[in-house]
Structure 1
Amino acid sequence: MMECLSGIKINNMRNLIKFFLLVTIQSCVVVSVFSQEKVSWLTPKTQDFRKRIDFWKRIYSEIPSSEGILHDPNDLSVVYERINIEGMTHRQIQKKMRERKEYIRRVLNQFAKTGREGMSDEDFQLVQGIANRSAGELQAMGQEVRWQQGLSDRFKEGVQRSYLYLDKIREIFKEEDVPTELAFLPHVESSFNYRAYSKVGAAGIWQFMRSTARLFGLKANYILDERLDPIKAARSAARLLRNDYVRTGSWPLAITSYNHGVHGIVRAVNNMGNDDIEDMVKNYNGRRFGFASQNFFACFIAAYELASEPNKYFGDFEKAAPIQFFEINLQKSLRIKTILDLLKLDEETFLYYNRAIRPMASRYNYNIPANYQLKLPMELYQGRNEFLSRLEIKSEESPQISTDSFHIVDHGDSLFTISRFYHIPIDRLIEANGLLNPSSIHRGQKILLPTHEGILAKAAKKVQPVARVNVVVPREVVTEVVSEEVATIFPQTFDFYQPLPPLPAFLDLDLILEENVERTQLVMLAQNDVEVLPDDITKNYDFDLVKISHNVYQITIEIDETLGHYADWMGGGLSKIRALNGRKVIRGLTFGQKIELPITDEMVGDFNAKRFQYHQSIEEDFYQNYTVSGVQTYKVASGNSIESISREQEIPLWLIRKYRPDKQDLNLFKGQEIELPLIQPKG
């Protein structure tokens, strides 16, 4: 790797050198082991498995997302009908599928009982291809009809997008000793959608969950989510796949592990007594080895065959030009807007190259941590020295907290409404006030308002004058203004990688609150300021820290939290946490469990701010991509738990809990009816 000028790196030179080295090696007749293995693991051994592959090739290349098919999930060659769903809503599609599935079930049952007699030509055409099946088989098939939406348009778009990073991903896989064919795996995971975010929280083209990302070295906090960086995530994905290969001894099983989990695949191998993926798909009946896991490897081969020869299947189309950039090591922590000013770069371009930086962090102008590798467009390379010089002399001043700027809590206030009114992120309010329990503030309490660039942020430019509000503003600011109407500050939705709307203007001397503003108007104004989050996140979690003794606080374990998170939010000290809690944490953590943490009084505000940021980022990412359209009633079956229902319905656990009467009680009993949210993707 070529380095110059304080950490500037150029990727192209490394690629060039490696290319010539590779050509030289190959000219010496040294053949890659992976090239030798290609025929053995990418070529199906049975006709049944080839049918699975061909089914998915048809879904990926022939049937658009405006159509779909009803088929048998066990024999993918059995397709009952193709249905057009263009212009239909999610609920209309569900209703249509219920009706057609019931029709197919009725026809199969009728044929199983009476045969061709009394059937219409249309009905018989439905069963003609499976007329030789036994009555029992036909009745069973009628109970398992499955709907599959087409993906050909999305897959083609994914192939076009893939060329943006595909060469770099292949290079990384070579470095990590992983077959470069596996660089096509994101076609199955995300269609190479660099903004991809699943309902349960998997992110990026490699669809890493936060817990797995953490194990393989990816940061996922409020400022950075490296799961969204295609290059960093590719290296982690390669190491995960290599790890799974070592555990399973087979690339087909390693690929299937990417979906099913390596522990489940190892268990399946032990149960089957062999490592044959085709035998496993056909005969293994593991409880969680369902349709997605059974078909994951077939999907991969289908995607590989299509994406390897895109012109054969999709005709001529324009490939995305490979992304070109250089990197600069950010030697000091700086605010995003400061970096943009120094670079003379717009926010949209900056986020396009630096996909790991969360748009919400950019919107609220957070500090990018020191030693972050900035990716910059090559057209800025000529001015790198000037930028580095400005960077050297730039010193960032931290936001100042003035005791002249505070909010007096009144009835109905929460950090949520205060945050929205002043446009100060909740985590900054938590940190500035050292709050032990962000979920609970009391009437009369003074909440310090950290200023930004010396000026207190204001919720809106115009407010209806009604009555007096309990707000103290800096003494040096004039305190009169007449306003006319409430303004909506933000639009309903944000494009995940487009620049977000700017914050409202900071207070000018002639834009201060009218003396007569009623307390209820404060809450209404906060609600009118439409943010990404639909409700008060501080009310949905137990963020309370209870002081036990000197430098020891008790914490209640929340959803998606680990000991590693606590150590990060404390700034280190995982071994101290284990030593303090002993056997309580040996077998892992459970929701609602109480443990002790070695936190000093000075660390409380920073710890709770980072904890809040973590949960806020999870919810923000969800609501930027999905909406809750209603609720459905779910009847709890024997063996069900909140966790199993979350997996089965693909609803994040934190979201299910919002619909529980007691948010701290996740226990269920057989026959209980619970409410589950209905989730729809935006757009």
Structure 2
Amino acid sequence: MKKIILFFLFSFNFLFAQINTPEFYERQINILRDLDIKSDFISSLVFVQSQQDLKSKHAQTLIDGMQNFSKITPMIRKILAEQEVPEEILYLAMVESGLKVNSISNAKAVGIWQFMQPTAKTLGLRIDAYVDERRDPVKSTYAAIDYLKKLKTEFGKWYLAILAYNCGNGKLRQAIKQAGSDDLNTLLDSDKKYLSLETRNFLRKILTLAFLANDKDFLLSKNASLVNYALSNDFIKVDTPSSVSLKDIAKNLNISLATFKKYNPHFKHNFTPPGKGYYMYIPLDKVAFFDKYFEAKKLAKVDTTIPMTKIYIVKAGDSLYKIARNHHITVDSIRELNRIHKNHLSINQKIIIPIKEKKNANIKTAQSDSKNYSNLVRN
């Protein structure tokens, strides 16, 4: 039996060597080394067998991340280097969310790093009626690195920190105790199932994307420009005036509102939050214009009262148009409040409906109602 296993391992190693150049093989070994994984993992039977399947399923995630989020990937790589953590952590974010800042999981994890609200708040991210900093790619990246560093300190190895990021440190501790080892091949054993299939595949997916990103032949076969996708980021953080319209800010920067929102997905409404000391991001090519012409004092203050809302449960036959008409509101207001980009609704889906204020009705201010509102918004 032992001879058969050795034969298969030799066969896979031989096949692997035929496919990959020495240069690419060395890059792969370096990736494993960066994550504290032994080099012999590259010839692990289970990993080799899963590679082709993972490539076919997740290669497009890498291509989309490079092409559609060219402003985010360089920023993340820069922060990872600055914080002296493995650059392969970028692919953790790709696996988690495809780098979509507005990504929301079924469990209500949000942003490119897929933080649950309690975890995000413990890491210093602001989540309230006005902003959700899980959608801020810069601030959430620093939070994710901080979290991963703590996990690395707890478990001693980067691959263990990555596994814990997915399953939680409690479950990983339990798995290591059951296995009697923190060896990667042991923890990923598909027969023993010390970890769930999702967690076992989580690290494999990250490695697959990291390998593909370092495979010049693969990138060239998809799009030659992808080889140089990691360019410098093109935005900068500046102070934002409080309680002003995003539309007015965009107009004063001479950019479209859609462009401004793309750089600032953490704002929940079409205005900046009240109070001093908050921030926004602007394109790098607008910095000189901002310094010379932007005058916050000239921007009109707007009402930052958060509208009263209710939860509506979608029924059979409902559409955005029908729900909006029945509640005497616009489709756009429903889309904006719920961050809905498509027309499709699911039966029993919960959506937030703004309630039109009646004349002489008591107005709830944002300050008094922010806690209740935050519970309604999908966090």
TM-score, normalised via structure 1 length: 0.41
| Larger Rg belongs to | 1
Match of 2:50 in 1: 55
User: Which residue of the partner structure matches residue 85 of structure 2?
Assistant: 178
| Maintained 8 Å contact 2:76/2:138 | yes
The offset of 1:197, in angstroms, is: 2.0
State the SS of the aligned residue for 2:40.
coil
Deviation at 1:180, TM superposition (A): 2.1
Q: Report whether the alignment pairs 1:335 with 2:245.
A: yes
Matched residue type, 2:36: W
Which has the bigger relative contact order, CA under 8 A and spacing at least 6?
A: 2
Question: Does 2:211 correspond to 1:305?
Answer: yes
Task: Note if 1:351 corresponds to 2:264.
Answer: no
CA contact (8 A) 1:202 1:208 kept: yes
- After TM superposition, list the pairs within 5 Å mapping 1:562-577 onto structure 2: none
In structure 1, the gaps of 5 or more residues are 1-34, 64-149, 400-424, 431-437, 440-462, 464-485, 501-529, 539-603, 622-683
- Displacement after TM superposition at 1:247 (Å): 0.6
Q: Is the 8 A contact 1:348 1:497 kept in 2?
A: no
Corresponding residue for residue 454 of structure 1: none
Q: What do residues 268-301 of structure 1 show as CA deviations (whole Å, max 9, x unaligned)?
A: 2233332212111216545xx3111122222221
Identity of aligned pairs, percent?
Answer: 19
The answer to whether structure 1 residue 224 and structure 2 residue 131 are counterparts is yes
**1:204–1:338 CA distance, 2 compared to 1 (3 A):** same
Q: Which amino acid aligns with 2:237?
A: E
Question: Which of 296, 301, 312 is the matching residue for 2:202?
Answer: 296
**Structural mapping, 1:439-588, within 5 Å:** 489-490=330-331, 494=335
* Distance across 1 between alignment mates of 2:99 and 2:125: 19
After superposition, the Cα gap between the structure-2 partners of 1:274 and 1:366, relative to the gap in structure 1 and judged at 3 Å, is same
Equivalent position amino acid for 2:178 in 1: N
Residue 612 of structure 1 pairs with residue 372 of structure 2: yes
Residue 121 (structure 2) pairs with residue 214 (structure 1): yes
Counterpart CA distance in 2 for 1:331 and 1:290 is: 47
Per the alignment, in what secondary structure is the counterpart of residue 374 of structure 1?
Answer: strand
SS at match of 1:275: coil
Question: Is the 2:234–2:285 Cα contact (8 Å) retained in structure 1?
Answer: no
Q: CA deviation at 1:167?
A: 2.9
Q: Which letter does structure 1 place at the counterpart of 2:215? A: E
Distance 1:305 1:249 in 2: 23
Cross-structure match for 2:67: 160
1:331–1:607 distance in 2 versus 1, CA, 3 Å: closer
1:321-377 deviations in whole A, cap 9, x for unaligned?
65412332125443323423433432101011112223xx12xx4636532222112
Tell me how far apart the structure 1 counterparts of residues 65 and 137 of structure 2 sit (CA, whole Å): 14
Identify the structure with the greater helix proportion.
2
Q: 5+ residue gaps in structure 2?
A: 1-29, 312-324, 354-363
Q: Does structure 1 retain, via aligned residues, the 8 Å contact 2:246–2:272?
A: yes
Give the TM-score normalised by structure 2: 0.70
1:383-462 equivalences in 2 (<5 Å):
383-388=289-294, 390-394=295-299, 396=301, 398=303, 427-429=306-308
Indicate the SS of the match to 2:282. Answer: strand
Q: Which residue identity is paired with 1:239? A: D
Closer, same or farther in 2 for the Cα pair 1:173/1:610, shift >3 Å? same
Q: Report the 3-state secondary structure (helix = DSSP H, G, I; strand = E; otherwise coil) of the residue aligned with 2:88.
A: helix
Match of 1:197 among 104, 112, 120: 104
Q: Cα distance, 1:494 vs. partner?
A: 4.6
Judge conservation of contact 2:338–2:352 (CA < 8 Å) in 1.
no
Distance 1:205 1:317, change over 3 A: farther
- CA, structure 1 residues 309+391, in 2 after alignment: closer, same or farther (shift >3 Å)? same
Q: Give the conservation status (yes or no) of the 8 Å contact 2:244–2:302.
A: no
Residue 637 of structure 1 is matched in structure 2 by none
> For this pair of structures, how many residues does the alignment match?
320
Cα displacement (A) at 1:230: 1.7
Structure 1 range deviating more: 327-336 or 196-205: 327-336
What letter corresponds to residue 279 of structure 1 in structure 2?
T
**Shift, 1:37, TM fit:** 7.9
Cα RMSD (Å) of the superposition?
4.1
Q: Which residue of 2 aligns with 1:470?
A: none
Deviation at 1:157, TM superposition (A): 1.6
Answer 1 or 2: which has greater strand percent: 1
Instruction: Output the CA distance in 2 between the equivalents of 1:208 and 1:232.
Output: 12
- 1:187 equivalent in alignment to 2:94: yes
Match in the other structure for 1:370: 276
Tell me if the contact between 1:354 and 1:375 (Cα under 8 Å) persists in the aligned partners.
yes
